[in-house]
Amino acid sequence: MSQRPQALFAMAAEHVPQVFPPEVLARLRESVDIDPALVAGDFTDPRVLDALARTEILVTGWGCPRLGEAVLDAAPRLRAVLHSAGSVKSFATPGIWRRGIAVSSAAAANAVPVAEYTLAAILLAGKDVFAARERMRATRASTGWGVIPGIGNHGRRVGVIGASRIGRRVLELLRPFDLRPVLTDPYVDEKEAAALGVPLLPLDELLRTSDIVTVHAPETPETHRMIGRRELALMPDGAVLINTARGALVDHDALVAELRAGRLTAVLDVTDPEPLPADSPLYDLPGAFVTPHLAGSQGNELARLGLAVVEEAERLLAGGELAYGVDLAALERVA
């Protein structure tokens, strides 16, 4: 058997056992020589520097220090960075790609629970569950078994903003339901939208014609506050806004005004700022359903991220292509 390549964890140490539980770690160690007790949370640590000099594969995660030129110089044998989380923007530098080092991300694996959360929110919103809960809380009474007009998920239009990994997964999960999804994304053309099985609309038209709007665009200078006062005003009365992307994509002051008026409701797993200050009206407004950034991988879902890294390592060492490689040219327009 050939010698396993040297690998090193680079992340906050507490995440290693969460993302790589025993069965996932054991499978990783079948492919690479990696010590779970040595975790690079600081690249100035002498023990880390010594290991870095021999490292061929860097297994990164939340809390990974920035991979600047000095770090890369200290890792002359490095050939791959396999990230056990979503975005690599917090630590990756262009020098990684200039040196021909392969980069992979578990963003596709992390997209799964976010899309599942979004699907649940869409279906619950279509049944007016969030408002019904608030009415029952206020009145301490049930409306009984009578038919409630205006609710339901049959034929409801769902506007998806962004054909990101998560946005595409949401579209996939929506297929079995009698919903009418539509998409807006400046990087998608009619042919690609047809392949995804959805009509492609301009943002304004999507907002005007959707019962539920769900945001899955990356945070870039172009998308900052992309859903502002004008855009929210386009949404029909009773529409629902779901945001599991980044809080800064939505103008929260404008959203609060719409929520106070009772015209719109919102499901927000991300906010701006994050976390919300204690005096934020979003805590109290009945039209706001706010969760603490938990749509992404949590609890037992973290093992899926570790498994994604294991599978990438196996592909790499078998001489195959990385399934979830990150391209520097595309980095500007992904999360």
Active site residues: 246, 274, 293
Largest CA distance in the chain: 71
What are the distances in angstroms from CA 199 to CA 155, 160, 192?
15, 11, 10
Residue 322 tokens, joined? 């990385």
Q: How far apart are CA 268 and CA 20, in angstroms?
A: 29
Residue 209, SS3 per DSSP: helix
Of 110, 120, 162, which Cα lies nearest the Cα of 296? Answer: 110
Tokens of 176: 């079995």
User: 165 exposed, middle or buried (CB, 10 Å; 0-12, 13-18, 19+)?
Assistant: buried
Do residues 284 and 309 touch, judged by C-beta distance below 8 A? no
| Residue 87, C-beta contacts closer than 8 angstroms, at least 6 positions apart | 105, 107, 334, 335
* Residue 74 CB neighbour total at 10 angstroms: 16
The sign of the CA dihedral 169, 94, 47, 65 is: negative
In the sheet that holds 102-105, the strands lie side by side as 7-10, 57-60, 80-83, 102-105
Torsion angle, CA of 270/159/235/279, rounded to 10 degrees? -10
Joined together, the tokens standing for residue 243 give 């945001």
